[in-house]
Structure 1
Amino acid sequence: MRKNNTINDMFSPNMREVITVQVGQCGNQIGKEFWNKIAFEHGISKNGDLIEAKEGDRKDAFFYETEDNKFMPRAILVDLEPRVIDSFSETFYNHENVFIDSSGGGAGNNWALGYSKGLEFKEDILDIVQREAECSDNMESFMFMHSIAGGTGSGLGSNLLENIRELYPKKIIQSYSIFPNNKEISDVVVQPYNSMLTLQRLALYSDTVIVIDNGALTRINSKKTDFNNFTMINDLISTVISTSTSTLRFPTHYLSDIRSINAILVPIDRFKFIIPSYTPFINSTVNRRTDSLDILRKLLSKTNRLATTEDSKINKTISIVNILSGMDCDDIQKGVINVLDKGLINFVDWIPPSYHYVKTKLEKRAGLALNNGTEVAGLLRNTMDQFDRLKRKNAFTEMYRKYSDDLHEFDECKEVIQNLIDAYDTL
């Protein structure tokens, strides 16, 4: 059973819970690394024991305490086959919040099959979502983790995104969406279909989409760390996610809730696709001292972006939020002034330059930039070009006709994403 909150907790302005929704193999693998990372930061063991209390933290935003003084993640784990979730050694998850298709067949990398499974299991999954939401006192947002290219994370994830938006129209939905490497030939031949169909839902139903692509992850991992495997890549992603939530878990005087971050980062609802940058992406055994200006400049560099973009003088920035740690406030302020004075950022001209920073309480000297700008249009355009090449020949469409009498979804998703690209191009 969950321990009841005190009156002070229930009415605290900082008490804004976040429920994570991990869908599919990719989403659950990332989620596992994320929870291990933030549990360590809050002094919580893998079986939920509080080993070391951290002063001033708000672990209750992401964990709840049980009657036997265990801390459990506010996490919902969804998959259509059991392999990944069954491999978790951590025991602090609430097993009532885990949904696995008993048939264990998966979605076969087919968005349409994943979506139809979402329809089939809608009530079962939403029962978990509603129960978790009802156990929160002041739930602020849902945080999705998934891939857009496979079957479960894309198809079932799309259906679940629609359903949660319908049930909770005023809650923020923030998605950490893993894009495929568009520059490599994939084993999943229908990857462009899956991606476009998922992008349509993200464009329509999410509030913020943090874009991370496998091409950039592979490049960063091979150049900036001593290892090159999926575990390290998932660790890179979880580092970005944990850093982006650090001001919620260790509140500061500024940007300590998702709604305030979103208000700055996404001033216009339509432009919600955010590209993160992080530094330093190096093995922990390497120790290099850098000042705030160096960190801020690196966060603007293409080499530290977690999405593959093309440098262009016509790219413009709508807003940037920098989350920094391990630095002196005066040093940060000097770095910010230097960046702005040198004109290193090409801002849109219809709003004042929107360049913000917040210093977290974490000790590691590092920085995360969340960049809302027009360069994401290139990534969307590449995805649509691959989609068009398949659709022009009606290649592999029979895989989708099994679950729908017509292919109107294909036309609808292309229209939505084409309109979005056109809108970015006008900025």
Structure 2
Amino acid sequence: MREIIALQVGQCGNQIGNEFWSRICKEHNISSDGYSGNDDLDDRKDIFFYQADNNRYVPRAVLADLEPRVINAVHNGFYNEENIFLSNDGCGAGNNWAHGYCTGQTMKDEIVDALQREVEGCDLLESFLLFHSVAGGTGSGLGSLLLEEIRSLFPKKIIQSYSIFPNNTEISDVVVQPYNSVLSLQRLHQCCDAVVVMDNGALGKIALDTLRIKTPNYNQINLLISTVISASTNTIRFPTYMFSDMSSIVSATVPYNNLKFLVSSYSPFINKENRIVRKCTVDEILRRLYSDKTRMAYCDVSRAYSYISIFNVLNNVENIVDAQKALLKNFNISFVPWMPPLSHTVIGRNLKGRVCGLSLGNYTGISTLFRKICDQYDVLRQRNAYIENYRKFCSDLGIFDEARECVQHLIEEYQSSELSSFKNK
């Protein structure tokens, strides 16, 4: 068994994680108290759960936060209580990456011990999943610290993150989020094998335009995110003839190690209040997946960008060959010129019997999101705005410039990947 351990960090990470576990429990017929109903599901619960002595299924998860509100809400006996960590003062990180990173040093050893215990309980650990936000202080700072620790301790294990970026199209209450985002991006780039990028601006627009929710709240946004995480692990949790482990999915989506940031799309999202839901065809699902309206991260569409790779999971589709042919023939999808089109489509399982689909795209247009973050970062850094708040926890401000340079190189690499000469680098 190739197990996966989830690490939930910060308010956002723990809320997303809680929604994810709730969703896959329903898919695997596991009750809210961890007990499995009598069923004949051909599934692999043990990838994400282990069975305790009382036969209760327990998530392979470690939870960490610097303030107690969200963590206290999930103290319901579902998780292993030994794997839930709060800082002693419980005051949070004040939306400050350096605060989260430095305060995390006092918790690091305990969290790492919990991860080690989870690893020892696996037959053959394959990967870690990180759920977090990069905008605040805990998910970004403590998340960065734990990423570095995991990469150092488990250099051969896969690390994939689901990273929530801030809404960069509107003015935010967290004025320092460009600092936090850039500092986090450096660690994601250096430590992860794959990063699924979602941003609150794109997610909010999907909730508004597609689900017709006038004022989306965080719970509704987290439902969208958990749907994507669940769908992206579908072929791992339910046996399939291909892409049944994390390593094969990462290999399919990240053919070049430095370009590892993935954009997700999902369709159809359905508002639970809708009584009538129209049945979708495969062609319609594919058309929606490659529409800007379903893309869950902000990308500039003023010009055409290219795909490095595409990975699709289509549920309840009978003929996967026809679906793949339709994708390449009927949709105007541009691939980078230095390698053959890298597109994989696999059939997943949706127990509700509805045709639906997920796309993970390694898309060069993601560089526009990073560019926007850097532009906002530069405005603050040129004036050293709010920098004293970071100096309290980190005397070496050189880490800011180092992180900014790292992200700049990432942007330039994505831009150069659109050229035929890229393969000769």
The alignment's TM-score, normalised by the length of structure 2, stands at 0.95
Q: Secondary structure at the match of 2:140?
A: helix
Count of matched residue positions in the alignment of Structure 1 and Structure 2: 411
- Unaligned residue ranges in structure 2 (runs of 5+): 418-425
In 2, the alpha carbon distance for the partners of 1:334 and 1:18 equals: 32
In 2, the alpha carbon distance for the partners of 1:335 and 1:62 equals: 30
State the Cα deviation string for residues 326-373 of structure 1 (Å, max 9, x = none).
2222xx432321331245110011111111111012233110000001
In 2, the alpha carbon distance for the partners of 1:19 and 1:250 equals: 17
Question: What residue is the counterpart of 1:170 in the other structure?
Answer: 156
* 1:270 equivalenced with 2:258 (yes/no): yes
Question: What residue is the counterpart of 1:325 in the other structure?
Answer: 315
In 1, the alpha carbon distance for the partners of 2:330 and 2:218 equals: 38
Q: Secondary structure at the match of 1:322?
A: strand
Which amino acid counterpart does residue 135 of structure 1 have in structure 2? G
Residues 33, 235 of structure 1: 8 Å contact kept:
yes
In 2, the alpha carbon distance for the partners of 1:203 and 1:424 equals: 13
Q: Secondary structure at the match of 1:423?
A: helix
In 2, the alpha carbon distance for the partners of 1:339 and 1:210 equals: 22
Instruction: Report the CA distance between 1:90 and its aligned residue.
Output: 4.2
Question: What residue is the counterpart of 2:420 in the other structure?
Answer: none
* 1:423 maps to which of 409, 413, 425: 413
Instruction: Report the CA distance between 1:54 and its aligned residue.
Output: 4.3
Question: What residue is the counterpart of 1:37 in the other structure?
Answer: 23
- Unaligned residue ranges in structure 1 (runs of 5+): 1-14
State the Cα deviation string for residues 161-198 of structure 1 (Å, max 9, x = none).
00000000000000000000001111111110000000
In 1, the alpha carbon distance for the partners of 2:303 and 2:91 equals: 48
Report the more deviating stretch, 336-345 or 36-45.
336-345
Question: What residue is the counterpart of 1:409 in the other structure?
Answer: 399
Question: What residue is the counterpart of 2:423 in the other structure?
Answer: none
Residues 42, 54 of structure 1: 8 Å contact kept:
no
Which amino acid counterpart does residue 359 of structure 1 have in structure 2? I
Q: Secondary structure at the match of 2:264?
A: strand
Which amino acid counterpart does residue 359 of structure 2 have in structure 1? A
Question: What residue is the counterpart of 1:349 in the other structure?
Answer: 337
Question: What residue is the counterpart of 2:421 in the other structure?
Answer: none
In 2, the alpha carbon distance for the partners of 1:268 and 1:234 equals: 30
Question: What residue is the counterpart of 2:244 in the other structure?
Answer: 256
Aligned-pair Cα RMSD in Å: 1.2
Residues 75, 81 of structure 2: 8 Å contact kept:
no
Work out the percentage of aligned pairs sharing the same amino acid. 51
Question: What residue is the counterpart of 1:140 in the other structure?
Answer: 126
Residues 267, 357 of structure 2: 8 Å contact kept:
yes
Residues 293, 336 of structure 1: 8 Å contact kept:
no
Residues 43, 54 of structure 1: 8 Å contact kept:
no
* 1:279 equivalenced with 2:267 (yes/no): yes
Q: Secondary structure at the match of 2:185?
A: helix
Residues 275, 371 of structure 1: 8 Å contact kept:
yes
Which amino acid counterpart does residue 283 of structure 2 have in structure 1? L
Question: What residue is the counterpart of 2:68 in the other structure?
Answer: 82
User: Displaced runs of 4+ in structure 1, greater than 3 A?
Assistant: none
In 2, the alpha carbon distance for the partners of 1:356 and 1:188 equals: 39
**Following superposition of structure 1 onto structure 2, how do residues 228-267 of structure 1 map, counting pairs within 5 Å?**
228-267=216-255
Question: What residue is the counterpart of 1:202 in the other structure?
Answer: 188
Residues 140, 184 of structure 2: 8 Å contact kept:
yes
* 1:157 equivalenced with 2:147 (yes/no): no
In 1, the alpha carbon distance for the partners of 2:109 and 2:40 equals: 38
Residues 42, 53 of structure 1: 8 Å contact kept:
no
Which amino acid counterpart does residue 408 of structure 1 have in structure 2? G
Report the more deviating stretch, 398-407 or 107-116.
398-407
* 1:360 maps to which of 317, 341, 348: 348
Q: Secondary structure at the match of 2:265?
A: strand
